[in-house]
Amino acid sequence: MEFGWSEEEERFRQDLRAFLDEELPPNWEEIAAGGPGSDEQVRFCRSFCPRLAERGWLTQHWPREWGGLDASPWRHAILGEEMWARGEPRGPQYMNVNWIGPAIMRFGTEEQKAELLPPIARGEALWCQGFSEPEAGSDLAALRTAAVREGEVYRVNGSKIWTSYANHAERCFLLVRTDPASRRQRGISVLLMPMDLAGIEVREIPSVVGDRYFHEVFLNDVEVPVSCRLGPEDEGWAVVTYALQYERVGAARYARAARILDRLAEEARRRGRLDDPRLLERLGEARAACEAARLLTYRVIDMRAHGAPPSADSQLARVAGTLAERRVADLALELFGPESLAYGSPGAQHFRAAMTAGVAVGATEIQLNLIASRILGLPRE
């Protein structure tokens, strides 16, 4: 047990920071304000990710065979921290490298790997995640979007909702029901669906969390080639479970929260308020929550580095992260006072970045259910 970084890891972090200082344009803050799915940020990520890939950093934790460097999960975690702390210049591409690529490596055919992995590794691919449906949110296994096999295609009908980045993505990691008679986890398959097929309609859902944030994806008689199926037919749940293990702690949201907190403290100093013990207390309270989330995330990365099987420990990290984000969000509004009410103000932006924490990537209550049953061993309700 030791909690230090190796020299090589420290150097990597410094190199990354220097790289970001050089690559991020002077108006980066404005670009980042829209969130990873905004038009501006997506445009930026299309030029940024290839440069990250040139250095070998984008998919460094992947095997060499697929454009990686076999780097340790810790190096990838450092990358994630530095990216999220700077507003995630990878845009939606963080998903590709964290979990979509690894799922394709694990379950894909040779053709799928050869076609889909290189663009991800080069930083050229944009994906979206088609899981949630109007009637299937926390209860994902209730999904109904139907895919009926007709020769060499699946005819897909149904709709997906809350799909981030659907307006930009070229592909969708889509969950469908291939066995209409099946219920729950059985009979689900994964399709790696090109988004330019006939019959796909993407509609924006206006929201208070940001422009072009949420989408509904309508699928009307979309013909998806059978060759797009990832893993065996009707057995997609195993693929999803595998992918979600990587998704859950993939985004270093605690690093963004910690960075925002530093900004808040900076702002408090500018206003001559850093000698106010009440404010210092609030800042300390929020920082402790960020640090707890960081260590619980590290614990999951450590288990991965040791090759331990995935466990419910990732849920501890997620819940801690949500607690941290909420504290930082509340403080952001309070610190800037009524000025936070102005659209686009720093308080409003920080708040917006954090307000979805308890729902996006799975509701907190579901995570608590898993902790209660898998870690505490409490009986089912």
Min dist. Cβ of residue 276 to another protein (A): 10
Residue 362 binding partner per list another protein, ligand FAD, none, with a CB distance cut-off of 5 to 8 Å that depends on partner kind: ligand FAD
Under rule CB under 6 A, residue 356 binds ligand FAD? yes
Here the tokens at position 38 are 């905004």
Enumerate residues 55-84 that contact another protein by CB under 8 A: 74
SS3 8: helix
Q: How far is the CB of 209 from ligand FAD (least distance, A)?
A: 6
Interacting residues of 321 by C-beta distance below 8 A, sequence separation 6+: 253, 254, 257, 293, 296, 297, 357
Q: Which is nearer to another protein, 8 or 110 (CB)?
A: 8
Question: Quick one: CA dihedral 333, 335, 336, 338, positive or negative?
Answer: positive
6 belongs to the binding site for ligand FAD (CB under 6 A) = no
Q: Which does 174 bind (CB under 5 to 8 A by kind): ligand FAD, another protein, none?
A: none
Q: Taking a C-beta distance cutoff of 8 angstroms, is the pair 200, 222 a contact? A: yes
Nearest-angstrom CA–CA distance, 5 and 252: 18
Judged on CB neighbours under 10 Å (0-12, 13-18, 19+), 180 is: exposed
Kindly state whether residue 331 participates in binding another protein, applying the rule CB under 8 A. no
Exposure class string for 220-231: b at 16+ Cβ within 10 A, else e = eebebeeebbbb
CA distance 111 to 291: 43
Residues touching another protein, count (CB under 8 A): 53
In 3D, which of 254, 313, 264 has the Cα closest to residue 289? Answer: 254
Choose the stretch contacting another protein; rule: CB under 8 A; options: 98-106, 122-130, 192-200, 362-370.
Answer: 362-370
Site residues for ligand FAD, 150-169, by CB under 6 A, read 162-164
Footprint of another protein on this chain (CB under 8 A)?
A: 1-5, 9, 74, 262, 265-266, 268-269, 274-275, 277, 280-285, 287-289, 291-293, 295-296, 298-299, 302-303, 305-306, 316, 319-320, 323, 365, 367-369, 371-373, 375-381
Footprint of ligand FAD on this chain (CB under 6 A)?
A: 128-132, 137-138, 162-164, 356, 359-360, 362-363, 365, 369
